C-alpha cells in the first residue's frame, strides 16, 4: 500500500496451535499404525482407526500455523480508515503501528 512503510516483519506462532498440530500428527501416526497392524485380525478396528486418522489429518490441515505481523509507519497521504480496510491494528507505539493483513473474504458469499 502506497504511503505505508514496512519497518519490520515478524513471523509468530501460536503455542496452542502448534501443540494441537503436534497432537494431530502423533495421532495420525498412532492410528495409522493400529489400522495396518489390525487389518488382518479385526477389520472394524482398522476402519475406525483409519477414520480417526483421517479426521486428525483434516484438523491438522485446518490449523493456522503462523501469523505475520508488520511494524509500519504511515505518512499523511493514507487515512487511518484506509489502513483499517486492509490491515488489522495489533498495537501502536508512537508513530510505529503493528498490523496484520486481514483475511481476504470471497465476494461470492
Under the phi-then-psi rule, with left for phi > 0, alpha for psi from -120 to 50, and beta for the rest, what region is 94?
left
Domain ranges of the chain: 4-101
Cell of 35: 489400522
Length of the chain: 109
Write phi, then psi, for 77 (nearest 5 degrees).
Answer: -75, -10
So what's the pLDDT on residue 71?
Answer: 92
Q: Tens of pLDDT along the chain (109 residues)?
A: 788 888 888 887 777 777 777 777 787 778 777 777 777 677 777 777 777 777 777 776 776 667 789 999 888 888 888 888 888 888 999 889 899 888 766 554 4
d(CA 62, CA 71): 27
So what's the pLDDT on residue 17?
Answer: 73
Helices (H), the chain: 15-38, 43-62, 80-86
C-alpha triplet 65, 69, 72: angle, nearest 5°: 165
Amino acid at each position: 500500500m502506497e504511503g505505508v512503510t514496512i519497518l519490520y516483519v515478524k513471523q509468530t506462532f501460536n503455542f496452542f496451535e502448534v501443540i494441537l498440530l503436534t497432537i494431530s500428527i502423533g495421532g495420525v501416526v498412532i492410528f495409522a499404525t493400529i489400522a495396518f497392524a489390525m487389518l488382518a485380525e479385526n477389520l472394524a478396528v482398522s476402519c475406525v482407526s483409519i477414520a480417526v486418522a483421517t479426521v486428525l489429518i483434516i484438523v491438522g490441515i485446518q490449523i493456522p500455523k503462523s501469523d505475520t505481523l508488520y511494524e509500519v509507519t504511515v505518512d499523511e497521504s493514507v487515512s487511518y480508515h484506509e489502513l483499517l480496510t486492509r490491515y488489522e491494528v495489533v498495537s501502536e507505539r508512537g508513530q510505529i503501528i503493528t498490523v496484520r493483513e486481514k483475511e481476504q473474504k470471497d465476494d461470492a458469499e
